[in-house]
Amino acid sequence: MTTLAPAEATTVARPQRELTYAEAIREALRQEMRRDPRVFLIGEDIGVYGGAFGVTGDLVHEFGKDRVRDTPIAEEVIAGLAVGAAITGMRPVAEIQFSDFVTLATEQIVNQAAKMRFMFGGKIAVPMVVRLPGGSGTGAAAQHSQSLEAWFAHIPGLKVVLPATPSDAKGLLVAAIRDPNPVMVFEHKLLYRTRGVVPEELYTEDLKAIVRRTGRDLTLVAYSVMVIRALEAAEQLAAEGIDVEVVDVRCLRPLDEATIVGSARRTGRVLVVHEAVRSGGFGGEIVARIVESEAFDFLDAPVRRLAGRETPIPYNRTLERSAVPQVEDIVAAARALVRE
Q: What is the pLDDT of residues 243-279, one digit of tens each?
A: 999 999 999 999 999 999 999 999 999 999 999 999 9
Residue 6: band (very low, low, confident or very high) from pLDDT cuts 50, 70, 90? very low
Give the whole-number percent of the chain exceeding pLDDT 70: 96
Q: Are 207 and 173 in contact (CB under 8 A)?
A: no
Angle, helices 282-291 vs 257-267, to 10°: value is 60
Domain annotation covers residue 1: no
Active site residues: 75, 144
Of 204, 220, 236, which residue is a domain's last? 204
Look up residue 277 and give its amino acid. Answer: V
Asked if 238 and 289 touch (Cβ cutoff 8 Å), the reply is no
| Residue 9 lies inside a defined structural domain of this protein | no
Q: Are 112 and 254 in the same domain?
A: no
Among 179, 204, 229, the domain-final residue is 204
Q: Which residues contact 26 (CB under 8 A, 6 or more apart)?
A: 55, 56, 57, 59
Once rounded to an integer, what is the mean pLDDT over residues 291-300? 97
Residue-number span of the structural domain to which 264 is assigned? 210-338
Q: What is the pLDDT of residue 9?
A: 39
Mean pLDDT of the chain: 95
Residue 161 falls inside a structural domain: yes
pLDDT tens-digit map of 81-108:
999 999 999 999 999 999 999 999 999 9
Q: Are residues 134 and 79 in the same domain?
A: yes
- Is 246 a domain residue? yes
Given a cut of 90, whether residue 210 has pLDDT beyond it is yes
pTM of the model: 0.94
CATH number assigned to the domain comprising residue 312: 3.40.50.920
Q: In terms of domains, do 239 and 312 share one?
A: yes
Reply yes or no on whether the pLDDT at 8 is more than 50. Answer: no
15 pLDDT band (50/70/90 cuts)?
Answer: confident
Cα end-to-end span (Å), the chain: 38
Burial class (CB in 10 A: 0-12, 13-18, 19+), 340: exposed
Residue 74 lies inside a defined structural domain of this protein: yes
Count up the domains in the chain and report the number: 2
